[in-house]
Homo-oligomer: A and B are copies of this chain.
Amino acid sequence: MSSVSDDSADLPARLAENADAIETLLDALLSPVALAGEVARPRRLLDAMRHGALGGGKRLRPFLTVETARLFDVAPAQALRAGAAVELVHCYSLVHDDLPAMDDDDTRRGRPTVHKAYDEATAILAGDSLLTLAFDVMAGPETHPSGEVRANLVLALARASGLGGMAGGQMLDLAAEGRFGDAPAGGLDEPQIRQLQAMKTGALLAASVEIGALLGQASEAERAVLVTYGKALGAAFQIADDILDVEATPEQLGKATAKDEGRGKGTLVSALGREGARRERDRLSGQAVAALDRFGDKAGMLRAAARFAAERRS
């Protein structure tokens, strides 16, 4: 619908502002005195958690949480905390996915990965502790006055992250590489690739949006269309990622590229071709935008986010 607003022009500034606010909040949550208890925190572990969580990224997930919550006039401090919890899960997943036993990556956002900067044991524990902290932050009374809402936020985050979501998707991805000697001979077919991506990256992106809706105590109908938006955005985001993997330089991304082909991974780029993948990406991004119709002009920034997720260059 061309009559509704699309705040693409304002997006870069709003994204940057949100990334700053998330960085500040994560820095505070990961300060030596935060979450004070009776025992000192092991400094090396805290430093490794900070290495894994601070200093970078677009912070797209918390942006989606904050902008969705804004539709319902949620207090910004609450939305930021919930967004930070989602981002902590994202950061934990990067720390663990980079491990030698998993994707074995040495750099991330142009810096050494956590196990390179520290060691494997520390990286495993740092990931574990970031994941645990995410639930600590989400369940805390500052995130929402209603315990019922907080428990539902925890549920949404857990379901998107575990066996049926992100971790399960990473497992399917490793299996598709032939890690366990049982990869299908011709690679994954298109529906299998879509399922893998919906779990590995789509679930947490969709949950970022759903969590904003839960904070805003959205109606069932509102939540349903927002989840549709989140899923379509997540799928478009992943295709954009696969296109970047074949088209961008390592310098643009701050990490190795062309890894998927090297590993024989199925992506929608290999299944549909570059042009077909671009068309599918744009179709999904259009579907995400269309899902927001009922929110009118108020959803301009979420529309811009869907276009950005599909068209980003890094």
Contacts and interface: CB of A to CB of B under 8 A. Distances in A.
Interface string A108-152: 000000000001111011011101110110111100001111111
Contacts of A41: 163-164, 168
Most chain B CB neighbours (cut-off 10 Å) among A92, A131, A146, A174:
A131
A124 B100 CA distance: 11
Interface residues of A, number: 61
A159 interface: yes
A168 B101 contact: no
16 contacts: A39-B164, A39-B195, A42-B175, A45-B163, A45-B168, A96-B128, A99-B121, A101-B120, A119-B180, A122-B174, A133-B163, A135-B154, A147-B148, A147-B150, A147-B152, A151-B151
Given A42-B168, A125-B170, A198-B39, A133 B162 contact: yes
A119 B179 CA distance: 10
A263 interface: no
Interface in A213-260: none
Given A147-B147, A148-B147, A159 B122 contact: no
B167 A125 contact: yes
Count identical subunits in the complex: 2
Contacts of A164: 35, 37, 39, 41
Contact of A131 (B35, B42, B128): B128
Contacts of A141: 151
Interface string A43-69: 011100100000000000000000000
A94 interface: no
Contacts of A146: 147
A292 interface: no
A148 B195 CA distance: 35
Interface in A153-175: 154-155, 157-159, 161-164, 167-168, 170-172, 174-175
A246 to B, nearest CB: 25
A16 interface: no
A199 interface: yes
